Chain A
Amino acid sequence: MTNKRWQISRRTVLRGVGAALGLPLLEAMRPLTAHAQEGPKQPVRMACLYMPNGINPHHWTPKATGKDFDLPELLAPLANVKSEILVLTELMNKAANTGDGHYVKTGGWLTGTTITKTVGSDLRSGGVSMDQVAAQKIGNLTPLPSLELGIEPVTSGVDINVGYTRLYGSHISWSTPTTPVAKEINPQLAFDRLFRPKTSTEKKDATSEKSVLDLVMGDAKNLRGKVGHADQLKLDEYLDSVRAIEKRIAFEATRQAAQYNDDPLARAEIEKLGKRIKDYYIDPGKLRERGVDHTEHVRLMLDIMVLAFWTDSTRISTFMFGNAVSGKNFSFIPGVNSGHHQISHHENDKAKLEEYKKIGVWHLQQYAYMLEKMKQIKEGDGTLLDNSMILFGAGMRDGNAHDPHNLPLVLAGRGGKTIKTGRHLVYPKKTPFANLFRSMLTRVGAPVSSFADSTGELPGLDDENFGPPKKT
């Protein structure tokens, strides 16, 4: 894998161009958000990155707490951004300690709830996921309320062993308790959706698009009166989606003059990414088939997310490295011979734990790649990373035991100067993961007074003196 870092020269940054990057867009948005509280601050972004199948539990948790924490092998890839992260220990998703090995720990990862066991007729996550709570509150400030990305297509079928539809294992975002939010897995399509400049015909079409949407919305409303209750909910889902597009079209109309796309620095990065995506699809060596460019696929998706944040196309995003029970073959990593899920059942065999660890390290490397990029993008008096909260984690700790205690979690970024990073925080055992959700939601501008089993906001994120719980 060639090293393709953002090529932002020191001089560019010193010239101050970088500092102004976020501005054109904010300018463009002003008429729409005039009544919202919009200080001089940069917007805070939030992403949740999910990895399936847990981690090797012996190489995750730093021995030391506080500032001078060590980086065990799994966290070692984060060395360059150690000052930008918080390692969070002993958080737990209590509701996930039931049901089955995987599905509740994925479908319920960001809802903090127990999913309904079903093969499909009564799909119910139990709650709205925290990212969608944010999207429903502040999503109106950006063209896309939220951006859901992933790598693997929805796993088909139902797992008849455990009686769950595999849908649960393929989604972490839920816009209602019964509606999972689809993720884009194709880099080209994700890129086009965000960045492809409209052709002149398409620009002309925008007017007719609006009238098309008006017409079909009328159709849906007419139908609503003729069908049953459950059918009405499906039509409501349809109507919500129509409204989302209308909103996007409205955004695009107001952004004509000050297009972020016209900003030379962002534009250059967008073009570079577009080219990399093209290269990715030209695959004479059948790399994709061999899994060799799995890394590139992941990096392209993460780069798309970074650019979406940078250009303020959205402030909320989720990413799935893989679906629950992913059997992804990681044999492209030296020393790894197995599928991911297969090796996660390592039965404490030394050799298998080693493979399991290597797969985990690979995931952290991709996370580090993203963070390092965000750290290089200047924004305001800091960096894009400073204005973000990028959560990395899994729904279980040791895959061998499907253990939902002490989840492996890292939170990166300073959340707009509200988080003091560079520490390892240890909480009392079984501290609700949902407490972290509440802290993040507050920082992103979507505070809630309760969330699933939360007992409050997570203390210590901005408190440098926060210490581990005293032993009793």
Chain B
Amino acid sequence: MKRPECLKRKGWGHIGGVWHALAFLAFAVLNSSQAQSAELDFTKDIRPLLQTYCFGCHGPEKQKAGINLDKFKDAGSIHREPKTWESVITQLRDREMPPEGKPQPKEDERIRLATWIEKTLENIDYSTIVKDPGRIVIHRLSRTEYNNTVRDLLGVTSQPADSFPSDGSGGGGFDNNADTLFVPPILLEKYMDAASKILKEADPKLIFVAKPGNSASSRREAAQKILDEFVPRAFRRPVEKPELSRYLAFFDESDKRGVTFEESIRSVLKAVLVSPNFLFRIEPDQPSAEPYPIGQFELASRLSYFLWSSMPDEELFKLARKKKLRDPKVLEEQIRRMLLDPKSRALADNFATQWLGVRNLKSGTAPDPGKFPQYTETLRDAMYEEVVQFFHHILRDNASVLNLLDSDYGFLNETLAKHYGIQGVTGPDHRRVAFNNPARGGVLGMGAVLTLTSYPQRTSPVLRGKWVLEELLGKPSPPPPANVGLLPPDDKPKDGLTFRQRLEDHRKKPECAACHKRMDPLGFGLENFDPIGRWRTELAGKPVDASGTLVNGKKFNGPVELKQQLMGQKDEFTRNLAERMLAYALGRGLEYYDTPTVKALTAATIKEDYRSQTMIREIVNSFPFQYRRNAPVTQEQKKETSQAETKKAVPAAKPEPEAKAGQAAKASEGKKK
């Protein structure tokens, strides 16, 4: 049978997540030969295998999926691209490569190769090879960060950024990923409008800290006081005289035109709010080829945007001015203080909902309204709120992160409690509720998660299982091959088979089985929850079958036993959470050189009873959080700059040589002035 195209191509895609999974995965089948692998020689024993089985598609001639294994000439060079090689291990282990129809390695060759790579990668001493804090491009405030920042700067709570175009995500999957925060013209238009509105709504006490007399000089004096106070807060750093004087000059112009003092101040402040100094979190380069610690004010911003998705408050500014922020004890105190502040809800609201995918509840596919009229906006919001409050509690109360896997309580309001079949909760406010049904505890019993992993008309054990693997354990599966199809949209029995039986039938196909036997059982364990997260014991007239067998052969029945099984992988879960949270904290995707950081903060968290604040403390104290480096400029980048500067960036298309290109360019130049 022809191997599905897309498996061939896409098997390489999930390297990021595989990366850490391996460190913990019992590689049972390969263990027997580990002893001998140490003595194997790359040139003599390993490279020939690669040559025979891999180079055909990933060598000098062809580089399918951009992978060329031929360029690794010795064992040491493997260290340079650990992600690629982690992927090779997975491909070998899952028997995804070499693809069917190509010469297959003998079983012992397969094992020898995989074990050697694994061993070699495990033995990398990262601390001696790389010490790289990574590079984060100047970070445009995300919509949420903009809203929170104007709230804390000017007391404006109308969330003006809600009308901005939504931010895409990248890196760890979060919308605070600096690389993917763009500044298109439409956004700048909105900044202009928003700034005007914000200044109308702003609390005047926060702006007008000085009142002018009647003379021009007293107006100027007052303006200076106002700007001295406001601009450094808006730019989140000290602002020097020459910089301030430009703003003061702007005030003078306006004042000369006879505009009222208040109006003049507002138009200066409008410029402040549209300035790149406000809209971007700027971290200037230092003249150093080596990584260097970021400044105190930059650290204050990193901290506040991590924990609050907002600007630093006066206490953080004060500590930055006193240069005390780098003191680990001070930092620990500040973390505790900041998490106890209600503003820390932002971390739950932004990090947890994006990590778990719950944010998509509000924009993604909704349950079919005909089949589930109960699923109203009110219920949906209550589900969402449960996730936020649960996570926020774990942060605030320094609880164990394992509560996310399983717990005996949740945060419900009346709507949600009724939905879950729990009595005695009244009113719209969520509060802590103890569960009698142990199936409910943890994120797997949450309506939000159960709904978002269902299709509009039925549950999907596949989607749910996939979600557990990807989001909780950080072990993504390759995408389904083309042409193998999906199942029907509903869960009605067909041809005498229940939906589950048909799914099991479907995954008998060998190209499907490899992944489905990992995913589906996890989803079967959640079959007691319907597509909108209600408890059920019957499905289409038959008792729900929520039993499953995991790949390791362990059997379980129902959500409670499933969660017990997952608890067996609590360290994998913790590492996945650490990785996601680090990516969120940094605003960039993780690279292989972040591995030591991830390992260290995972270990520390485990050691301190999986406490949430330990993880956060370790992130804040980590090398990539406290350091930065300058980016080396590549040739390609140089080319790009010159293109951007000359405004002729049309690489895909060459303009007609003699056409009006020049004229058009001139015309647009003319108008710029």
Residues of A at the B interface (CB closer than 8 Å) are 32-33, 35-37, 98-101, 111-113, 117-123, 126-128, 130, 133, 136-140, 145, 148, 152-158, 160-167, 170-171, 175-186, 189, 193, 205, 208-209, 211-213, 215-216, 218-220, 222-223, 226-238, 240-248, 250, 286, 289-291, 327-329, 331, 337-339, 342-343, 345-349, 352, 400-402, 441, 445, 447-452
Residue B135 CB within 8 A of the other chain: yes
Whose C-beta in chain A lies nearest to the C-beta of B167?
A154
In the complex, what's the smallest C-beta–C-beta distance from B465 to chain A, in angstroms? 13
CB interface residues, B 158-177, toward A, < 8 Å: 163, 165-173, 175, 177
- Residues of A within 8 Å of B10, CB to CB, are 100, 161-163
Given A100-B9, A226-B284, A402-B6: A329 in contact with B672 (beta carbons within 8 A): no
Per the bound structure, the CA–CA distance linking A32 and B663 in Å amounts to 12
- Residues of A within 8 Å of B435, CB to CB, are none
In the complex, what's the smallest C-beta–C-beta distance from B477 to chain A, in angstroms? 7
A-B contact pairs, 5 of them (CB 8 A): A117-B66, A209-B192, A212-B270, A241-B187, A448-B650
Contact segment of B217-225, B551-559, B640-648: B640-648
- Residues of B within 8 Å of A241, CB to CB, are 183-185, 187-188
Contact segment of B307-315, B603-611, B654-662: B654-662
Q: Are A215 and B489 in contact (CB under 8 A)?
A: no
14 A-B pairs besides A181-B184, A226-B285, A452-B653 with CB distance below 8 A are A119-B172, A121-B589, A123-B180, A128-B649, A136-B650, A140-B668, A157-B360, A161-B476, A170-B168, A213-B274, A215-B250, A291-B366, A338-B456, A338-B489
Per the bound structure, the CA–CA distance linking A215 and B252 in Å amounts to 13
Given A100-B9, A449-B657: A119 in contact with B16 (beta carbons within 8 A): yes
Q: Are A216 and B182 in contact (CB under 8 A)?
A: no
- Residues of B within 8 Å of A165, CB to CB, are 168-170, 180
Q: 1/0 per position for B394-418, CB-CB distance to A under 8 A?
A: 0000000000000000000000000
Contact segment of B74-82, B92-100, B291-299, B629-637: B629-637
Which among B13, B188, B276, B455 has the greatest number of chain A C-beta atoms within 10 A?
B276
- Residues of B within 8 Å of A156, CB to CB, are 166-169, 173, 175, 354, 359-360
Contact segment of B107-115, B204-212, B339-347, B480-488: B480-488
Q: Are B13 and A100 in contact (CB under 8 A)?
A: yes
Whose C-beta in chain A lies nearest to the C-beta of B591?
A121
CB interface residues, B 459-494, toward A, < 8 Å: 470, 476-479, 482-486, 488-490
Given A163-B14, A211-B250, A402-B482: A123 in contact with B9 (beta carbons within 8 A): no
Per the bound structure, the CA–CA distance linking A145 and B186 in Å amounts to 11
Residue B140 CB within 8 A of the other chain: yes
Residue in A121, A128, A245, A345 whose CB lies within 8 Å of B179:
A121
Per the bound structure, the CA–CA distance linking A343 and B165 in Å amounts to 29
- Residues of A within 8 Å of B656, CB to CB, are 447-449
- Residues of A within 8 Å of B641, CB to CB, are 229, 232-233, 236
Residue B196 CB within 8 A of the other chain: yes
Residues of B at the A interface (CB closer than 8 Å) are 6, 9-10, 12-17, 65-66, 135, 137-138, 140, 163, 165-173, 175, 177, 179-180, 182-189, 192, 196, 243, 246-247, 250, 253-254, 267, 270-271, 274-277, 279-280, 282-285, 354, 357, 359-360, 363-366, 368-370, 376-377, 455-457, 470, 476-479, 482-486, 488-490, 588-589, 630-631, 633, 637, 640-641, 643-645, 647, 649-657, 659-661, 663-664, 666-668, 671-672
In the complex, what's the smallest C-beta–C-beta distance from B253 to chain A, in angstroms? 7
Closest 5 CB pairs of A and B: A120-B170, A127-B652, A347-B485, A163-B13, A167-B168
Q: Are B185 and A240 in contact (CB under 8 A)?
A: yes
In the complex, what's the smallest C-beta–C-beta distance from B283 to chain A, in angstroms? 8
Q: Are A337 and B589 in contact (CB under 8 A)?
A: no
Q: Are B274 and A212 in contact (CB under 8 A)?
A: yes
Q: Are A162 and B275 in contact (CB under 8 A)?
A: no
Which among A36, A219, A223 has the greatest number of chain B C-beta atoms within 10 A?
A219
- Residues of B within 8 Å of A98, CB to CB, are 9
Per the bound structure, the CA–CA distance linking A101 and B589 in Å amounts to 23
- Residues of A within 8 Å of B457, CB to CB, are 337-338
Residue in B188, B243, B285 whose CB lies within 8 Å of A244:
B188
- Residues of A within 8 Å of B369, CB to CB, are 289-291, 331
Q: Are A245 and B188 in contact (CB under 8 A)?
A: yes
Per the bound structure, the CA–CA distance linking A24 and B485 in Å amounts to 56
Q: Are A228 and B135 in contact (CB under 8 A)?
A: yes
Whose C-beta in chain A lies nearest to the C-beta of B667?
A140
